[in-house]
Chains A and B, each alone.
Chain A
């Protein structure tokens, strides 16, 4: 049995498949679209259009990078407000053209920088949460590694949320939690255990619908299966009217909590 913290480390592993791998593994003809039309393009979130077999889809993915150079370029997968605003722009575009939105999420969280705060990080996330809730097109989010707090949730207000078996989803990093509670980041393993952040824990709490088995030896197989499942999900979703879709999405989150 793996401990919760071992799941955290697996989710963060350097050789783990990144957002870009999933875009290439799941979709055909991906065409990247850049920029938030307000300030900048954020390389930590990749967005664009592609085919899922023969279905045009809008794809959004956080990207951590694979080596030092690309990690720096991608800001280690921690988005600035521009990333969330680009994502929202492309989601609205998907709504206009009736395309489903597929979000691939792997981030330790939204970037905690001076500029990020000055350009309204909280506002950007808040806007995505509200707008995604009302988006009149199907939305699916797949957590593939780290699901870090509000920065991950800003791409995960979806009709269904799936998690890879080694992914984690948490309100705070175990290190952050240990630091606040015991002023000791070394106790991260204990905090991870208490936060109930593994895919199984999170599914038991009703926060994700499906756990996706991983196959590190044959990732192509995993992508093939996952693409089939996404297509099945899409078939189910298109049979619903836009109002039914948003009503169900609202009810999905409405029942979480007390």
Chain B
């Protein structure tokens, strides 16, 4: 077991009290500070903990590939539609360059990764949004990939697991990005009307046009602890109503209280609960089809 600073004997008076100070880093181990409580999490331990702070349970932001690694059975994920990339539909100044730069820094061709996978041996189609590619914003490529995934899943009567993290529609694609909300909604609706199961895992942050389309259209809405989930940005709301926002505004916990998500599930339990739900929603006769 890696050394856990939480149970370390305090070095001095200050350390006995609140947060472990940054000086824990002197343990030679590489650490990453928790943005929520400041706890210095040793990197190796963070990976073992599924990138959850050992002190406060804060869920660190994950790349799409990390999340796929945590949720799916080893080597079961087969990527689909990776060739679909954004163009610059309205010739927005600087956007083409930004896309090129993003492909390098995020090491993904777009803001969503789609494919098929198994979760505790339950087959499903899956999309996972990529927060490090323009904050998971939805342009034509993201809309097309998600639409195709639902069409693909509908043809094969597969359930869809969708992990959302997004700033919303990608304004650099103008009205074309807005239309992706309608397009994806149409595909979700068809998949749903055919009796197929769709679960969304809402992660921090899920906002704007993604919240107002496929993120909220799941049969079951699961949220990660502490995730911000909303339509308008908190700053915009504050400026509009000229009031201080109530505590916990747009947090997953408040959405649960108001009845807008089914459950909040810690990262360590997500795989188990998702696979149980997949098993419960298995299409009758689908086993026979496979033989």
Contact = CB atoms under 8 A, between A and B. Distances in A.
A170 B209 CA distance: 13
Contact of A130 (B147, B179, B189): B189
A118 interface: yes
Nearest to A84: B212
Contact of A123 (B186, B188, B190, B260): B260
A131 B260 contact: no
Contacts of B217: 126-127, 130
A189 interface: no
Interface of A: 110-114, 116-123, 125-127, 129-131, 133-134, 149-150, 153-154, 157, 169-172, 176-177, 180, 194-197, 201-202, 205, 207, 249-250, 253-254, 256-258
Contacts of A258: 84-87, 140-141, 143-144
A258 B179 CA distance: 11
Given A150-B212, A258-B140, 8 more contacts: A110-B212, A118-B254, A123-B260, A126-B216, A150-B208, A170-B178, A196-B174, A258-B86
Contacts of A171: 169, 171, 173-175, 177-178, 209
A118 B241 CA distance: 14
A114 B245 contact: yes
Most chain B CB within a 10 A radius of its CB, from A110, A112, A177, A249? A112
Contacts of A172: 169, 171
Given A123-B216, A130-B189, A253-B183, A177 B211 contact: no
Contact of B183 (A126, A127, A201, A257): A257
A133 B185 contact: yes
Nearest to B139: A257
B50 interface: no
B47 interface: no
Given A130-B185, A250-B190, A149 B144 contact: no
Interface in B72-94: 84-87, 89-90, 92-93
A253 B182 contact: yes
Interface stretch (B1-9, B35-43, B56-64, B228-236): B228-236
B243 A129 contact: no
A129 B182 contact: yes
B176 interface: yes
Nearest to B173: A171
What are the nearest 10 A-B pairs in CB distance?
A257-B140, A122-B211, A112-B232, A129-B185, A122-B231, A126-B216, A125-B212, A133-B186, A121-B231, A256-B179
A119 B230 CA distance: 10
Contacts of A177: 171
A218 to B, nearest CB: 30
Nearest to A256: B179
Given A196-B90, A196-B175, A120 B169 contact: no
A170 B173 CA distance: 10
Nearest to B171: A172
Contact of A256 (B84, B183, B190, B249): B183
